[in-house]
Amino acid sequence: GLDLAKVTELFLKGVTQILGITSVLMFAATAMVLARAGSTRAILELIQRRFGDRVELVAGAMTLVQALATYVAGIGAANTLVTAPLIAAVAGFVPGLVAGLSIVSGASWATSPASAESAYISQQMQLSPVDYAAFMRPYTVAFWLIGVVLAWWSVRRWRLANGIEPIIATDTGDATLPAGLESAAAAAKAEPAALVGGPWRRALPFFVLLAIILVGPLLNRLIGRPIFSPALTPLWVLAVAAVALKLSPNRIGEMFIDGGLTILRYLFLVGLFLGFINLLAEIGTFETIAGFVGLAPIRLVTIVALIAAFLIAIPSAAYTVAIDALVIPVLAAVGVPVWAFGFVGIAVAQGAMISPVQINVAATAHGFRTEIMRIIRTNLPYMPAALVVTIVLAAIVTAVR
């Protein structure tokens, strides 16, 4: 029943929506500059000096860093673009590690006091975002523990069974790329940057970027000005890189622009898929699926609501807050209790981790130098299990209340 003009508008909106996530573009380009300037390799050298073959400890620690950074910032993809290449450079592509990162990321942004998801859900619960975050924090920490232990155990088992194969974006380009990305890598590859100084000096810009991600939002609130915004953070980091690595501003600028080409390919792919999803949303597909929850017995309505939220997110979760806004009013109308909305938000985030249009999935693929569908196939066995944990936690809250 949609006319061609409306179809065109909805389809093109998918592309513009995704390409409008400018923080991902900025952080991806910055991380690629540091990788090609030798910062990622330098960090790998430092880690190998400290931990030797015990890379599972690094994997667990960095998974926790991802959880904390996402919780503080309220967004996952920008942090993933920084942490994923570092973890890949240490441990390589380990399925349980990728799943652990996905689990902690989704739980963190769904319950962060700084996220758009929490702002919407807390409003529906008639709480402040801070009170909502405090109510959900025990369950958030539970998923942090699950993700960290899964990452640690998976990397340990993988190391003992197969050995570690680091994936490093070196100063000469991407060392490991899936089929189909070679042309993008060739287009994005800048002339190698001359390595300057020891590993600590070369690693300094990456440490600065990681520190800004962790404490930048807090400093912004303390100062009262966004001095560490998505636009300004790359400037600070690239300025440090220019000084520490003795690179000219023109050279840094060229590397920054070239570094964004690969992530643009991912985003364009995601945007095209999202265009079709917009058509389904327009004709009421997802509202209808959410409405089926009302057919469940009253004792099972919360469980069915979590499953429905999870399923709806799989094809459509480019913006999880949009899914929350889509399904929560419908779920409230059919009798889902208000205290369960936070668990609905977590279920949506978990479904998003196997969604082709989720920007954090694209960021993870970019960080591990692989394809989006490989990340989805990797997460596919783990996310339903994470949903089961969400359902159990919700059941415990039901019993207590």
List per-residue pLDDT tens for the chain, 401 residues long: 888 999 999 999 888 887 777 777 888 888 888 888 888 778 777 877 877 778 899 899 889 989 988 898 788 888 898 889 889 988 899 999 999 999 999 999 999 988 889 999 999 999 999 899 999 999 999 999 999 999 999 999 998 888 878 886 544 344 444 434 443 344 334 344 456 668 889 889 988 988 888 788 888 889 999 898 888 989 999 999 999 988 888 999 998 998 888 788 888 888 888 888 888 888 888 888 888 888 888 778 999 999 999 999 999 888 898 899 888 998 988 888 999 999 999 999 999 999 999 999 999 999 999 999 999 999 999 999 999 999 999 989 887 77
pTM exceeding 0.95: no
Among candidate residues 363, 340, 390, 127, the one with its CA nearest the CA of residue 262: 363
Burial 293-332 (b: 16+ CB within 10 A, else e): bbebeeeebbbbbbbbbbbbbbbbbbbbbbbbebbbebbb
